[in-house]
Structure 1
Amino acid sequence: MKEFLHRIFSCCMALLLLASTTSWKVEKHYCMGRLINVAFFVDADACGMDMPVLGQQEATLEQKTCCDNEVILLEGQDEVTAVNNDLDLDQQQFLIAYTLSFLEVLKPIESKEFLFNSYHPPKIVKDIQLLDEVYLL
């Protein structure tokens, strides 16, 4: 069970790292106010009607066409570096000692082995307390 949970946790962490470092892009192409095409990670295909509204040969930047493109971009992390925490010798020794002592506490209690399993006590022939006249009060 412990190994299974460890594998699930490892897979979830790998997917989280992949999702956080990947850039996500959704592009939508609208023609005359209607959604024509949606594309993930790539450019959306145009409908082929990218002409100026007035029908002039040369479209300037101020003129609008009948088509619109909407881009939703979520940039991921570009720089992922491992954090290197250097511990000096005293800190390493303390960490090792603490870990070993903590693991000793968590060990299951083992049953003790009895060496005299087949030993039978001698039979009592006479009551020694009555012979010595010693009574417990």
Structure 2
Amino acid sequence: MKNGIHKLCSFSLALLVLFSTLSFTVEKHYCGDTLVDVAIFSEAKTCGMEMDGPEKPKPCCDDEVDVVEGQNELKLSSFEDLDLKQLQFLAVITYAYINGFQDLPKETIPHKNYAPPNLVCDIQVLDQVFLI
């Protein structure tokens, strides 16, 4: 069980590092006030109304680029860099984790081998008493 938990924690931390360092761009192309295309990781398709050349102005099209930047540097710290409060917290969490998975004592069931008495007749039918 510990091996499975260890693999799950390692995988989740690897995903956390991957997604915190991932950066991407979202490109949007507007024709007037209408959104024509949205593209992630590539260029957005245009509506075909752009004019070529520096002397001709763009009539109505607009390109918008949103850049989502991830973390560029990862801070690598060692165990010696922790202060006293962090060490106490780490010790408490470790103690609670180790002692939290102890087995409970086996329960004793006192009426395990008790057999109920045989019914000779159904008393509710005999007395005509029914639950409604």
How does the TM-score come out when normalised to structure 1?
A: 0.49
Aligned to 1:118: none
State the distance in 1 between where 2:74 and 2:42 align.
24
Equivalent of 2:69 in 66, 75, 81: 75
Corresponding pairs, count: 86
Any idea what SS the aligned residue of 1:43 has? coil
- How much has 1:19 moved relative to structure 2? 0.8
Q: 8 Å contact 1:25–1:71 — kept in the other structure?
A: yes
Q: 8 Å contact 2:50–2:58 — kept in the other structure?
A: no
**Is 1:58–2:58 an aligned residue pair?**
no
What RMSD over aligned residues (CA atoms) do the two structures have, in Å? 3.1
State the distance in 1 between where 2:14 and 2:5 align.
14
- How much has 1:31 moved relative to structure 2? 1.4
Q: 8 Å contact 1:21–1:77 — kept in the other structure?
A: yes
Any idea what SS the aligned residue of 2:74 has? coil
- How much has 1:86 moved relative to structure 2? 5.2
Aligned pairs (5 A) from 1:1-137: 1-51=1-51, 58-59=55-56, 65-84=59-78
State the distance in 1 between where 2:51 and 2:74 align.
44
Q: Structure 1: where are the runs of 5+ without partners? A: 88-97, 109-137
Q: 8 Å contact 1:51–1:66 — kept in the other structure?
A: no
